[in-house]
Amino acid sequence: MGNETNKPDFSDVQSGSSSTAPTKADFSDVQSGSSSTADPVQTYTVVSGDSLSKIAKHFYGDANKWKAIFEANTDQLSDPNRIKPGQVLKIPANP
């Protein structure tokens, strides 16, 4: 029943969003909240001598989980054997 009480509050916020600009601040708060949910995804800056398996061993304790790191970074990696010092890789939560 408590959840039903929250639903009318959302309808009030929606009606206010179409009439006033402060709802933009509310959307900013939601975006901040969504970025905090992204906390399980860490980042790591590659250094000389690194490999995806070394990085996986460090973060997951298992070098064989390198594919999770590769798949999370296909936007900047086309070959798992070609990582460069200075690249910032996304490290997903333990796969």
Burial class (CB in 10 A: 0-12, 13-18, 19+), 86: exposed
pLDDT tens, the chain, 95 aa long: 554 444 444 444 433 334 443 333 333 333 223 344 545 679 999 999 999 999 999 999 999 999 999 999 999 999 999 999 999 999 999 77
> Contact, 91 vs 43, CB < 8 A?
yes
**pTM score above 0.85:** no
Could you tell me the domains of the chain? 2-37 (no CATH), 42-91 (3.10.350.10)
Question: Six-digit token pair at 76?
Answer: 């900047």
pLDDT for 87:
96
